[in-house]
Amino acid sequence: MTEKTNQIDSEVISLAREVIKDPAEPGEVSPQHIDHTLLKPETTLSQIMHLCLEAVRYGFKIVSVNPVYVPLCADQLSRSSVKVGSVVGFPFGASTTRIKVNEAKEAIRQGAREIDMVIFIGGLKAGQHNVVLDDISKVADVVHAGDSLLKVAIETSLLTDDEKIQACKLAKEAGADFVKTSTGFSTGGAVVADVRQMREVIGPEMGLKAAGGIRTLAAAEKMITAGANRIGTSAGVKIIEEALCRRVKSAVKTRLDMDMDDQEAQAVIQRVLEIET
């Protein structure tokens, strides 16, 4: 009986490893969609180190942290495929262009490879489109010179529909790599309708990051379906565990004709992740 149980257990683990390594299907959320984020002002060194450990364990695309923690993350993640991301003009977008440029330069010098800048919101709402364009363009120039990516947060909750459209057009014209819905520090976060509209404006090639209030797999999937190809969230572990749990349970049922509950599937996933990391 023990031998048979061990054989079944081995088959389940082997299948789970295969499922976890397989790319997600279109519309599914994968670890490579996740910007694992911790930007709260009260964040401590130990929390940042834990964030990095989680990012490696689950295979997230990047960690997104405040500039002061970029060197620590760059060191902690130096032997992994996880990149370091940081923020510029955060969270209000009201820094001068020179300050934003210098923030970006310093973050890249210290190891950041993705920069999330906040658009000059007041300038956008005042119709100062050339000023906004120049602001983004100058940051984009230094980011790209540092072989890094630029995302522009437009803070959708503060904008009219026309302003959202204009913000996306300006970010694209300025050479940004992504537009981003929100900072997560304003009056609202990512909304499906906004993501869909933003994708229509920027077209299929430019990146689109949904961020702010995305805490469940269902919410993340709606954003991906609407057109996002990156999710900024502090709940990445919960989201990906839920996604992996569903995929593992389905594979075990289909391939091994076995039923698993969520607790059993999570236990298998954790065993696989321990083996892999």
Cα 68 to chain centroid, rounded: 19
The tally of CA atoms less than 13 A away on the side-chain side of residue 201 is 23
Question: 180: which strand partners?
Answer: 153, 209
Catalytic hit among 83, 209, 222, 249 = 209
Tokens 């289909």 appear where?
254
Catalytic hit among 35, 61, 83, 116 = 116
209 is catalytic: yes
DSSP string, 194-259: HHHHHHHHH-SSSEEEEESS--SHHHHHHHHHHT-SEEEES-HHHHHHHHHHHHHHHHHHHHH---
Catalytic hit among 83, 164, 172, 180 = 180
> Using CA atoms, how far apart are residues 177 and 241, in angstroms rounded to an integer?
28
Consecutive H or E run containing 86: strand 83-88
> Using CA atoms, how far apart are residues 45 and 160, in angstroms rounded to an integer?
38
116 is catalytic: yes
Write 120-129 long-range contacts (CB < 8 A, 24+): 120/89, 120/93, 120/94, 121/92, 121/93, 121/94, 121/154, 121/155, 121/158, 121/159, 122/93, 122/94, 124/154, 124/159, 124/163, 124/166, 124/167, 124/170, 125/158, 125/159, 125/163, 129/166, 129/170
105 is catalytic: no
> Using CA atoms, how far apart are residues 138 and 136, in angstroms rounded to an integer?
6
Active site residues: 116, 180, 209
